[in-house]
Amino acid sequence: MALAKRYTPETTAAPKTTKGSLLYLFAVPLFLSVVLALLQTNVKAFLLNGIGFVLFLGVLTLAKKGFAQEREYKERTLAKAPKVPYKNIAGILLGVVTFYTAYVAGGAPFAKSIFLSIISIAGWFLYYGSDPKADKLENLGDISAEFVLETIGEAQSKLDAIRTHMKQIHDTALHQKLSGAMKQAEAILQTIQEDPKDVRMARKFLIVYIDGIAKVTDSYTQLEEEKIDDATKARLHTLMGEVQTRFEKELERLKGNNQFDLDVRIDTLKAQINH
Amino acid sequence: MLSPTMTKIFGLIFLLFSVGFAVWYPLANLF
């Protein structure tokens, strides 16, 4: 029984989408033409096609970056628009590559190449769309967006750290308590994202408590689990129990605060209607 | 305006046609 280990499946971050696989398809003929030119020892064609292939890989890299940025933006309740519009840049570069491969490397007529280039850019924006432009920042009140995003980001990275530590904790009871606390912490973060005005109220929770837990789990995982004495373990269990209660209260408080907001708005509307 | 699905289909056709042709030229020259 002592050899039994907790089953902790590898949790991969956000599932990678296959968006952009179409682009690999286009890279295949270019790659073939590079190989073929090499086999024919056609140096000029090899160089020209090689440049085209490298440029195409550039489009792929930029597009992947852009898609990742977009996915993150869509997943979050609060987010700023991407600073660098990688997807748009990739679209323009695709136009350039299309022109280059057709005109310079392929020797197609100039007008035809320009035509293909324009169509490819149009196709890119129709199929993949452009980068998100507007910030997703609602309900901010008088709090600065940077402050909210920074606080949430900081809390999120600490939660990630705790999750990594948790993989090394084999004490079932402790693991359960921790994962319970983590669920609540996530719920609190979500509540804050929905109503960022609460961030001031919850900052202590976000910074102090989560950081505290991260430090505890960090020290815990640095020791060998079997060598930790029972008294310390017992203290840790009590502490985690307290953490859970504290988190529950925090969540209730935040939800209560939203309830208060609703009450105020109902009263305001009521007063306006009755006037 | 086109529906999002139609926009995607048009985009895909555009992409396949233009980039497909462009990458075909250098390869065809070698045959």
User: Both A110 and A161 in a single domain?
Assistant: no
Do the chains contact at B18 and A119, CB–CB below 8 Å?
Answer: yes
The confidence score (pLDDT) of residue B13 equals 94
Residues from chain B that touch A106, judged by Cβ atoms under 8 A, are 22, 24-26, 28-29
User: Both A120 and A207 in a single domain?
Assistant: no
Let me know if residue A3 belongs to a domain: no
Name which of B8, B15, B22 is nearest A101 (Cβ-Cβ).
Answer: B22
* Last residue in a domain, options A128, A161, A192: A128
Q: Name the residue type at position A122.
A: A
User: Which residue, among A116, A118, A125, A128, would best test binding to B if mutated, counting the most B CBs under 10 Å from its CB?
Assistant: A116
ipTM of this predicted complex?
Answer: 0.94
Look at residues A66, A71, A106, A100 and name the one whose alpha carbon lies nearest to residue A83.
Answer: A66
* Last residue in a domain, options A128, A153, A172: A128
Q: How many domains does chain A have?
A: 2
CA A159/CA A152 separation, integer angstroms: 10
CA A32/CA A50 separation, integer angstroms: 10
Let me know if residue A1 belongs to a domain: no
* 8 Å CB contact between B11 and A22: no
Judged against a pLDDT cut of 60, whether residue B6 lies above it is answered with yes
At A74, the pLDDT band (50, 70, 90 cuts) reads confident
User: Both A159 and A253 in a single domain?
Assistant: yes
Judged against a pLDDT cut of 90, whether residue A170 lies above it is answered with no
State the DSSP string of chain A: -TT---------SSPPP-TTHHHHHHHHHHHHHHHHHHHTT-HHHHHHHHHHHHHHHHHHHHHHHHHHHHHHHHH-SSBPPPSS-HHHHHHHHHHHHHHIIIIIIT---HHHHHHHHHHHHHHHHHHH-PPP-S-B--S-TTS-HHHHHHHHHHHHHHHHHHHHHHTT---HHHHHHHHHHHHHHHHHHHHHHHSGGGHHHHHHIIIIIHHHHHHHHHHHHHS-GGGS-HHHHHHHHHHHHHHHHHHHHHHHHHHHHHHHHHHHHHHHHHHHHH-
pLDDT tens by residue, A208-249: 888 888 888 888 888 887 788 888 888 888 888 888 888 888
Do the chains contact at A124 and B11, CB–CB below 8 Å?
Answer: yes
Mean pLDDT of chain A: 84
Let me know if residue A138 belongs to a domain: no
User: Both A47 and A112 in a single domain?
Assistant: yes
pLDDT tens by residue, A116-156: 999 999 999 999 988 888 877 766 666 777 778 888 888 88
Judged against a pLDDT cut of 60, whether residue B4 lies above it is answered with yes
Residues from chain B that touch A32, judged by Cβ atoms under 8 A, are 27
The confidence score (pLDDT) of residue A98 equals 94
User: Both A191 and A149 in a single domain?
Assistant: yes
User: Both A46 and A100 in a single domain?
Assistant: yes
* CB within 8 Å of A121: residues ≥ 6 apart: A91, A92, A94, A95
pTM given for the model: 0.65
User: Both A152 and A269 in a single domain?
Assistant: yes
Let me know if residue A5 belongs to a domain: no
* 8 Å CB contact between A112 and A78: no
* Last residue in a domain, options A128, A162, A181: A128
How long a stretch of residues is chain B?
31
Judged against a pLDDT cut of 80, whether residue A103 lies above it is answered with yes
CA A71/CA A78 separation, integer angstroms: 13
Token pair, residue A9, equals 């499946």
The confidence score (pLDDT) of residue A59 equals 94
User: Both A71 and A171 in a single domain?
Assistant: no
Q: Which of residues 136-165 of A touch B (CB under 8 A)?
A: none
At A20, the pLDDT band (50, 70, 90 cuts) reads confident
Name which of B8, B16, B29 is nearest A107 (Cβ-Cβ).
Answer: B29
Let me know if residue A136 belongs to a domain: no
Q: If DSSP states are collapsed to H, E and C, what string results for chain B?
A: CCCHHHHHHHHHHHHHHHHHHHHHHHHHHCC
At A89, the pLDDT band (50, 70, 90 cuts) reads very high
User: Both A192 and A94 in a single domain?
Assistant: no
User: Both A119 and A173 in a single domain?
Assistant: no
Q: Which of residues 31-50 of A touch B (CB under 8 A)?
A: 32-33, 36-37, 40, 42, 45, 48-49
Q: Is A41 exposed, middle or buried (0-12, 13-18, 19+ CB in 10 A)?
A: exposed
Let me know if residue A63 belongs to a domain: yes
User: Both A223 and A110 in a single domain?
Assistant: no
User: Both A93 and A190 in a single domain?
Assistant: no
Judged against a pLDDT cut of 70, whether residue A88 lies above it is answered with yes
CA A177/CA A6 separation, integer angstroms: 14
Let me know if residue A139 belongs to a domain: no
Look up the domain containing A110 and give its range.
21-128
At A101, the pLDDT band (50, 70, 90 cuts) reads very high
Let me know if residue A134 belongs to a domain: no
Q: Which of residues 99-128 of A touch B (CB under 8 A)?
A: 99, 101-102, 105-108, 113, 116-117, 119-120, 122-128
